[in-house]
Structure 1
Amino acid sequence: MTDKLSISMITILMSFFHDVRRNDARLNQLRTALAQLPHSIPLGNSKYNFEHYVPDPDRVELYGSTEAALNNVLEVTFAPRGRKDESALCPFEFEERGPGLVAVVDVLTAALNQCPNSALLQKWLRDLWRTTVYHYNCAKQPVPSPTNTENATAASTANSEALDIDAGDYEDLPEPVAQGPCGRPIDTKLLALAIRCYKKDDPSKAHMFRCAGTNTGCTTTWKSKSRDKRRILVHAATCEHLPRKLKEKLDGGLAIDAPYTKSAVLNCAATTSKAQHSSPGITVTTQSQPLANKARTEAPVTTRSQPSVAPLAKKARMKALTAQLHSDVVQLFCVGGLPPSKVDLPEWKSMWLHAVPSYVPASSSKLEEYQIPAEAALVRTKQLEHLRTCINLSITFDGRTTRLPESVYTIQDHLFGVLDGVS
C-alpha cells in the first residue's frame, strides 16, 4: 500500500511542480505586458480594480468554490456579454489600462498556486494574453518581455520557454552534415523531439529549437546552439502535445535513469556478487606437488604484489549508497509533499555532511527538473505494463460546464474486479 501511495504522490507532485513553474512564466510575461499596454487604451482605474480583490463568501457559497467564484467575477468584469470563440482576433477588449488591471495577475497567481491545473483559470490566462497581444498588434508595437532577474536568468539558460508561440512563425532548418567520423553520434530521439529552426522576423536568424509538439499546441522553445538532452527529455516527459508512441519510448528512456532504477540495479549487482563469492561447491583444481615445486623453481622471481581491491570495493559501495539515498530523497519529497527548494538550505546540506560526509545531495534544480520527472516516467512505464495485463478496464468521463457554457471533462481509469485481495 505504501508503494502505491508513493507512486501516486510522485506522479501528482511532478505534475504539480511542472504546472506551477509553467504558470509562473506565463503570469510574469502577462504582468509585464499589461503594465506597458499601448497608450491608445485610456488610462484609468474605475472599470478594472483588482488591487484589493478578496473572494466574496456569498459567491463562493453560491458557485461552490473560490475558483468558480473568481471565474464569475472575471466574466462580469471583462466579458459581461460572453467571450468570443477562438476564431475571433481576441475574446474581448480592454476598456482601460492601469494598476487595477495589472493586479488581476496577482489574483490569478494566488488562485493558480492553489489549483495550478485548473481548466477555468488556464482559459482566463490564455484569453487575457490573447487580448493583450491583440492590443499590441493594433498599435503595431512589439510585446515586451519580462526583465526581472528571475526571467533574465531563465532566458540565459538553455531552457528558454516562449509563450503562445505559433509554429508558423518559425522556419525549420536542416541538420548540419557531420564532417568526418569524429564527434559524438547524434541521438535520434533528440532530433525527433527538438526541431532546429529560427524565427522568421529575426534578422540575425539565430538558431533555436522548438518542441515537436508546437504544431499541436505546445509553446516551448529552447534558445541554445545545441540540444540540451536533459532539459529536452524532462520537458518531453510532461508535454501533452507529443505523439503517444513517442512519449512511451521517452518514458522508457527516462525510467532507466530514475533514482529507484539505478538503486535497484546496483543493489542487485551487489547481491549477485556476494552470492557468487559465498556459494559452496566450488572446486579448485591444483597441481600435483612435484609439478608445483618444479614450476616454482623454474618461474622467475618477482617482487610485484597483487593490487588491493579495497579502493574499488569502497567506491562501488559509495556508488550504491549514493543511488539509494537519491531514491530515498525523491520518495521523501514526493510522499511528504515537500518543496524541492528545501534541499538548498544550509541545514539540509550540513545534515548530510555530518551523517554521510562522502554523499553529495542533489540540488533543487536537479531534483525538480531531472530526478522527479525520471521517477514519474518510471511510474508511468510500470502503470502501462500493469494495465496491459488487465482485463475489464473502463474509462469514465465526469463533465461540468462553465456559465458560457463551456464543457470541461475529467477522465478516470477503472479496473473492475479484485486487485491485491481488495474488491
Structure 2
Amino acid sequence: MENQDKARTINDQDVLLEQLAKARQELSTLYEISNAMHKTLALDEILFIILTGVTSHSGLGFNRAMLFLLDSSAKFLEGRIGIGPDNGEEAKRIWRLIDEQKMDLDDLVNSYAQTHEVIKGSKFFNQVKSVRMPVKEPDGGILAKVFNDGMPFHFKKDNLQSFTGDPLFAIFPSDEFVVIPLKAKDRSNGLIVADNIFTKRSITKDDIRVLMMFANQAGMAIENSQLYERTLIKAHKDALTDLWNHGYFQYVCDEELRRAKDHMSYLSLIMLDIDNFKNYNDTWGHQKGDEILARISQIIMESSRKIDKVCRYGGEEFAVILPDAAKRDVLVVAERIRANIEQCTFTTGTDHPSQKITVSIGVASFPENGKTKLELIRAADAALYDAKKQGKNRVACPPVP
C-alpha cells in the first residue's frame, strides 16, 4: 500500500512538472509574440506577426490562419491576411525548410520584408483578401455570429451541419476549425480563423485557451496601430482638399520609384495646374477660390485609379503618382481628369455667375523620362509648362528623345 501511494505521488509530481513545463512554454511563446508586436506600429507588419505567431511551429502551431478586421464603416468584416500552404505537399516543403534552417519565431517574424511579397502571391492569401462579409446576422454567417457574440467558437463535424452553405466554406473548407474574436477594450475589432487541415491534429481546449490569451494582446496591438495610422494620415493630409500633402508626395514618390526599380515596373507622374487661377481669386476672393480647389480635388480623385496617390503639390498645383502605369496609361488618366474638370460647372454662389474652369497637365514616366525622382518631376513640370504655352486646357508629355 505504501509503495502504491509513493508511486501515485511520483506520478502526480510528473504530471505537475509536465503541466508546469507546458505553462512555461505557453508563456514564453506569448511573450515572444507580444514582444514582436510591440516592435512596430505598421498595421500590415503587425498582422503578419500575429498570423506568424498563430501558424509557426515555434508559435501556436496551427496549419493555417486567416485574419479579418472590421472596416471603416463598421458594417463589414474584411479579409486582411491569410497565412498557410495551398496544399499538403507545399506544407511539407515549407515545414522541412524551416526545420533545415533552424528558424525560430524571431527568424520568421524578422523575415517579413522577404516573405511578405511571397505570401501576397499565394492563392490562399488572395482568397482571404477577396472576402467582405457583413457583420449583420444572418447575412455574415459564421464570422458575423462569432464577431457579435464576442466569444470563441470551435467548429467540429458534429456542429458544422448547422452552417451548411456558409460562405466561409467557399475559401476555407475544413472539418474542424476555431474562430476567435479579436478585442480591444471589450469591443470586437476583428477575428482569427485557424485550423489544422494538413496534420489533422485535433484542436484542444488548451489550444483555444492559449489562442484566446494571444488574441486579447493582438486586438490591442491592432487598435494601437490603427490609431497610429489615423494620426499619421491626418499629419500627411492637406486640410483644405483632404489630399496628400507635399511632404507625403515626396515620400511616396521615393518609395514607388524604389519599388519600380526593384520590380522593373513602370511609374508615371501627373503635374496639374489650374488655368488662370489668380484671376479667379482676384475676382471672387480667396474663400471662393478655396471652394474651387476643394471641388477640383474631388474630381481628380474620382478620375484617378484607386491605387494612385493624389496630392496637393502647392497652391493651385496638384500631382498624381501612378504606380505600374506606362506612358499610354498615364495619358488616359490625365485626359480623363482634364475632360471631367472642363465639363464641370463651378457655381460660386448667388453673387457670382457659374463658371467653366480648365487645367493644364504635364505627364512623365519612369524610366523613359527620368530615372530619379528629381528627373521625373522636372520632366512632368516641363511638360506642364509646354501645355500652358500651347494654349492651356490640354495634356502634354515630354518630347521623345
Report the TM-score, using the length of structure 1 for normalisation.
0.25
Q: Which has the higher strand share?
A: 2
Determine which structure has greater relative contact order: mean sequence separation of CA pairs < 8 Å that are 6+ residues apart, divided by chain length.
1
Q: TM-score, normalised by structure 2?
A: 0.26
